[in-house]
Amino acid sequence: MPTFMGTLFLDQDQSRTIEEQGVALIAQHTLPEVVPKKQKSTGKKLPTKQAVVLENAAHGFKKPNILDIKLGKRLWADDASEEKKIRFSKITEETTHKDLGFRIAGMRVWQGPGAECKEDIDEDGYRIYDREYGMSTINKDNIEDAFKSFIFVESAGIDEELSRLVSQAFLADVQRIQEVLEGEESRMFSASLLFVFEGDGKALRAAMEEASTSPRTMVNDDEVSSEEEEDEEDYGVPKIYAVKIIDFAHAEWVPGQGPDKNSLLGIKSVAGILEKLGGLS
């Protein structure tokens, strides 16, 4: 999970914003970068002056490619209103949640140094796949192509060899997440898997080569000890990839009720796709 850094409160006189307070808090921690989690400006404003500060999972990458996978067939928690249950159930019926137990909530994929800014490519060269992409464009028949669009980007220097290696690395972490959740009695509704990897092919290959020649193998940064993390920061070891579980607004422990089969359905489906893309099935 992303590292929890603490909380921020607006000053009594509101002379500093949450973001301004965040700068001061960041300076007190050893992690290179953290960002305050805040609600979207278009959503309903929360009646609070408190913000949660979390690790920025995209920190350390030259061109981070990011994929958000919303987990579950059932998306609403027990305390949801009837209107929300109906609305979320409709989303399940009309998307890949129904058959696969997950949906692509959004992607951001670097298209290479020659990418031109246009409707679906931003000024930094990232192709943006918004919420509607996973809602209306993707189905169970073309979901594998969507993952390919995320991992295999020839214009950015990510060829089939690199994409297979990235898929295999992602798969190892997803299988580890599956193993952990199968051994816990918990429930998560509308939680996500967040995938990040280096989208610059040259930087990605260099990072992989450096990892292969060092005592460390290519593993997710979560599996590195705190001492090794300090060493990495000291020597600027390039990042390769990261997989995080995020969005715990509706999560709880449920002793005696067994593993979270709802979330595990999506995790297993994602693992199956990554297994194919990694050439392991």
Model pTM?
Answer: 0.83
> Per-residue confidence at 104, pLDDT binned at 50, 70, 90?
very high
| Strand, helix or coil for residue 54 | strand
- Does pLDDT of 47 surpass 90? no
Do residues 240 and 169 touch, judged by C-beta distance below 8 A? Answer: yes
Residue-wise DSSP of 187-206: EESS-EEEEEEE--HHHHHH
Pairing between strand 251-253 and 186-188? Answer: antiparallel
Summary mean pLDDT of the chain: 86
- List domains and CATH numbers for the chain: 4-55 (no CATH), 64-277 (3.30.470.160)
Question: Cα separation of 135 and 8, whole Å?
Answer: 34
User: Of 142, 53, 161, 57, nearest to 99 (Cα)?
Assistant: 142
How far is residue 165 CA from its own chain's centroid? 18
Cβ atoms of residues 187 and 262 within 8 Å? yes
Question: Three-state SS for 260?
Answer: coil
Least Cα distance to 173 among 256, 70, 243, 84 occurs for: 243
How many CB atoms lie under 10 A from the CB of residue 121? 16
Bigger pLDDT: 33 vs 56: 56
Residue 35: pLDDT band (50, 70, 90) is very low
